[in-house]
Structure 1
Amino acid sequence: MQHVLTLIAPAGQLPASTVTRVRDALTALGASLGPADWLAEDSAVDLPFEGLAAEQAEAAARAALDGAAVDTVAQAVEGRRKRLLIADMDSTIVTSETLDELAAYAGFGEQVAAITRRSMNGEIDFSTALRERVAMLKGLSLDALEATWAQTHPMPGAAELVRTMRANGAHCALASGGFTWFTGRVADKLGFSSHHANVLEDDGKALLGTVTEPVFDRDAKLTTLKRLCAELGLPLSAAVAVGDGANDLAMIGAAGLGVAYHAKPIVAASARVRVDHNDLRALLFAQGYRRAEFVS
């Protein structure tokens, strides 16, 4: 079979009856299906198929699921396991927005968070929004960075995603519109191969309210994806990109497997592959890894 449809649900929430309903929907459209291959009992299954385009199979599956908490990924079997992971950090690899948390120490938490929401949904220019938010941090003690880091936690499944892909020879990179002060620490903690982000400027005691230019924005994320592929000798099709905000759309669209992760509306509407119901381990199932292969 040339294609595979993967159904992924939270643990224990993918009954055989649901899988049968999806199989019947694909068969009704003229697809030929191979035997179901369970990647994790009651939570992830591969359905090999041919006779339909991946987009058609995915649309049919979503219709058959009728709102059930199941994520779907349809793709070609060849080249399914990726050799490069490029991931956004805030609200993707970590659970929080580090700039918003940092701004709370400066007394501008709600104001900055509102700008962040608009920026991540593509309503305002990212670079302009970043400079505006960082300016509010001028004079903030560097101790606030340490306090924010203490409250920063990995997204469920993040460590397994990175460690499993690294163990299988992949380069794992963070590409964040946030700051290297945090991406470096996240990279060290979770095992990323490299990290790329904005540089907060300070005088050794407090923040200056500026970042080093140029801003690491949507275009920079795409450029980083292309550069890493070139350096690693990989086609873009060998990369998986994941993020939740509008500044992730370019890299999500260019990667072989581009994933909108619990994403803002504009991102969810634009990306073909979405993870709405599961944690980051869904990206491993999407690549055909079995639960027994995950590196904890």
Structure 2
Amino acid sequence: FRPHGPPAMNYVLTLVADRAATTLDAATVAEIADATGAGPAETLSPGEAVDLPCPAPPPPAAIAAILGARPIDVFCLPVAGRRKRLLAADMDSTIITCEVIDELAAEAGIGAEIAAITARSMAGEIDFATALRDRVARLRDTRLTALDRVAARLRCTEGARELIATMRAHGAVTALISGGFTFFTARIAECLGFSAHFANRLQDDGQVLTGTVTEPVLDRDAKERILRELAQRHAIPLAETMAIGDGANDLAMLATAGLGIAFRAKPLVADAARARIIHGTLRAALFAQGYRLSEFRE
């Protein structure tokens, strides 16, 4: 006779509230724990994030029925290898709050025209590389001073600085991998402390844009390739990597990483990703890895 002990808690369910809109109260946590057979809750940030150890991933419908429309993000990850050693992050509408090419187009007086192409590209309706070449061609003769004006008004997404600083403080490699442009990734990478940055290079004649980019275009396949190369270079198994992005050109990178997070993403991307930040900030990507608020860095 071998007595059956309690089930092994090989997974952890993490709840992260949008702290600007709601509070993660004890009653809700207890109800979810009861419905999922989870163990005692561990607070990561009071009223904002908790961990619930569980024996297996619970049915999402059961949690959704309890949370309803409350702005609370849910993650369920294996306990083993939860903290990642490499972060690959998209830039536009992920690490920063806008699409840079749309901002450049606004400077050129063709904002609506370019934004419509950008939206279709990010939704996966048209090929990214083709759409990029088309949009850049329409920016021909835009003065280089416009790039400086756009760079000056870029704003980082809430939680971006904490995400990068905290992961780097705990030994992770952090890379900005963008389908945008090196003129901007260089500035954002330096500002936030990324280990490296990769993007497309706009061509110019010293005064204005020529309407071309250096080939080959850094597209969906290139993002995934760079993730793999970085992991190999730093001897990090893919299972110990994390990618985060919002557009269709991030899909391959999100699928390849050990943890792929869709951040306030287009429907195509949100549906395909294994993890999603729908309501919260980029802080949620830290809570999903089990970081406590006391471990955050800026």
Task: Show CA shifts across 1:2-32 (max 9, x none).
Answer: 11000000236101111122112213xxxxx
11-20 or 256-265: bigger deviation: 11-20
Give distance in 1, aligned partners of 2:154 and 2:232: 32
Report what 1:24 is aligned to.
Answer: 34
Change (3 A) 1:231 1:58: farther
Report what 1:66 is aligned to.
Answer: 68
Task: Name the SS for the 1:162 alignment partner.
Answer: helix
Counterparts of residues 141-220 of structure 1 (less than 5 Å):
141-220=143-222
Task: Name the SS for the 1:110 alignment partner.
Answer: helix
Give distance in 2, aligned partners of 1:225 and 1:151: 29
173-182 or 8-17: bigger deviation: 8-17
Report what 2:4 is aligned to.
Answer: none
Task: Name the SS for the 1:114 alignment partner.
Answer: helix
The answer as to 2:39 corresponding to 1:34 is: yes
Task: Show CA shifts across 1:40-68 (max 9, x none).
Answer: 00110000010x2x3x4444323331222
Give distance in 2, aligned partners of 1:63 and 1:128: 42
The answer as to 2:281 corresponding to 1:279 is: yes
The answer as to 2:14 corresponding to 1:2 is: no
The amino acid of 2:52's aligned partner reads: L
User: 1:201·1:208 contact (CA, 8 Å) conserved in 2?
Assistant: yes
Task: Name the SS for the 2:24 alignment partner.
Answer: coil
Task: Show CA shifts across 1:162-210 (max 9, x none).
Answer: 0000000000000100001000000000000000110000111110000
User: 1:5·1:58 contact (CA, 8 Å) conserved in 2?
Assistant: no
Counterparts of residues 99-118 of structure 1 (less than 5 Å):
99-118=101-120
Give distance in 1, aligned partners of 2:275 and 2:101: 27
Give the TM-score normalised by the residue count of structure 2.
0.95
**Identity of paired residues, percent?**
56
Unmatched runs of 5 consecutive residues or more in structure 1: 28-32
Aligned residues: 288
Report what 2:3 is aligned to.
Answer: none
Alignment RMSD, CA only? Answer: 1.0
Give the TM-score normalised by the residue count of structure 1.
0.95
